Amino acid sequence: MTFDLAGIGIGPFNLSLAAHLDQIDMVEARFFDRASSVNWHPGMMLPGVELQTSFLKDLVTATNPTSPWSFMAYLVAQKRFYEFLNADFGAIPRQEFASYLAWVGDRLASLRFGSEVEEVNFDGADFALRVAGETVKARNLSVAVGLKPNIPGWAQSACGERCFHNAQAAQRVDRLTARRIAVIGGGQSGAEVVLHLLSREHAPGTEIEWISMRPNFLPLDDSPFTDELFTPQYVDSFLALPQGRREAILEQQILAGDGASTGTLQAIYKRLYMIRHFSKEAMSVDLSPHREVLSVTRDGNEFRLVMRNGFDGAIETRTVDAVILATGYAFAVPECMSPLLDSISLDERGHYRLNASFEVGWDGPDDRRIYALNAGRLSHGIAEPQLSLMAWRSATIVNSLLGRNHFDLELPTPPVGWSSRRVANMQSLRSAERG
């Protein structure tokens, strides 16, 4: 049979889309992933890590609160609803949310694990996916393979057993026998790795260097008005801007999505206090903000770091035994989409050109669509790679797929007037009401 939609990748975002489609009988969808189950960022599941987003921003609640696939439904099914409430988490453990995602992944009938999409072609009528050596036909695609660990150019030649991205931290940090360890990156991931290193027992003589390009170790900005950036109304205003202005605004908003949680920074500072004043184990910690790493080179069993100090302009060097790169993630078109590249519209950075409904521009028939999830930060704003709007995005895609508003996504005017056009319209309405 030919499916209405084939999904490539089963992370949180396609899982959310599958959950939204689950109760729509007229749509036949299949989602494929080479993994054996949903396993959300296993390499980043260090002890004690917490979610930076409210658990209410789950797979479905924002757009379909009666869905059986909500986080609340998961808690009830696990028989720990009351216990969860009594725990009164300020931020819930990331392990809990990963368990929720796996619970949904085990139960949705449209998911196919152990089924890698090897190649996608278009035969003139439908998309043809080669999945585990067989061909699957679909009228539409949803591509949600996630971002790739970003290895900066200055670190690529040094990567190996003792120089690696934090995406592998949970499996590799505790196996390090290195005495001198550099953690590069001042966001939440870097902070979590540093806190874990500081909390390890029986690590006498360890030297930890925490390096960040930012002028200080800065907290996530999660104030109420900043949280307005993570709303559909803000995305609507952001979409209307020219690309150059969007890019400039994203640079200004970096701490809204990539700062360290205040609780994590407090835990690090408290641990540093105890180490400095009460620890009997010799552990030294150097905090080095405002440093731009220029190069990391391997010299035998050591790594030599060269940095520019943005505070006083000096060039500095460090010699360490291991390097952990908390350097974020980057977009890349998945290899299986290569046969379609000549038909797909990409911008000058190699990113998909997306419309408001997350459809990729391409030269195929209008009724054959490619939806891209977690690929529109430059078009849809800072919330796009976050969990915050995944339910709204899924509902938007479902409405586009059906050609009608199955989900009601109309929202009132936001409290913040972002665009001049919207403010002018509101003022005109108020004047008319007074007149």
DSSP string spanning 397-433? HHHHHHTS-SS----PPPSS--SHHHHHHHHHHHHHH
Output the pTM of the full model.
Answer: 0.94
Both 32 and 107 in one domain: the answer is yes
pLDDT of 303 reads 98
Residue 229 lies in a domain: no
- Full residue range of the structural domain in which residue 181 is found: 149-220+259-325
Both 88 and 121 in one domain: the answer is yes
Q: Interior CA angle at 298 toward 302 and 289, to 5°? A: 75
Structural domain ending residue among the three candidates 278, 303, 325: 325
- Residue 292: CA count within 13 A, CB half-sphere: 9
pLDDT of 433 reads 55
pLDDT of 90 reads 86
**Residues lower than pLDDT 70 in the chain:** 202-204, 421-435
Instruction: Specify the CATH number for the domain of residue 394.
Output: 3.50.50.60
Q: Are strands 322-325 and 180-184 parallel, antiparallel or unpaired?
A: parallel
Both 287 and 311 in one domain: the answer is yes
Please give the backbone phi and psi of residue 264, each rounded to the nearest 5 degrees, phi first: -70, -45
Structural domain ending residue among the three candidates 306, 325, 344: 325
CA dihedral 206→209→210→214, nearest 10 degrees, is 170
Residue 24 lies in a domain: yes
Q: Integer distance in angstroms from the first to the last C-alpha of the chain?
A: 60
Number of domains in the chain: 2
Both 313 and 395 in one domain: the answer is no
- Residue 307: CA count within 13 A, CB half-sphere: 25
Structural domain ending residue among the three candidates 325, 341, 363: 325
Residue 254 lies in a domain: no
Distance CA 297, CA 154 (A): 8
Residue 426 lies in a domain: no
Both 13 and 133 in one domain: the answer is yes
Distance CA 45, CA 43 (A): 6
Residue 136 lies in a domain: yes
pLDDT of 280 reads 75
pLDDT of 200 reads 84
Both 158 and 137 in one domain: the answer is no
Both 108 and 164 in one domain: the answer is no
Both 10 and 107 in one domain: the answer is yes
Both 122 and 206 in one domain: the answer is no
List pLDDT tens digits, range 267-294.
Answer: 999 999 999 998 877 789 999 999 999 9
**CB-based burial label for 18 (10 Å; 0-12, 13-18, 19+):** buried
Mapped onto helix, strand or coil, the DSSP state of residue 299 is strand
Residue 252 lies in a domain: no
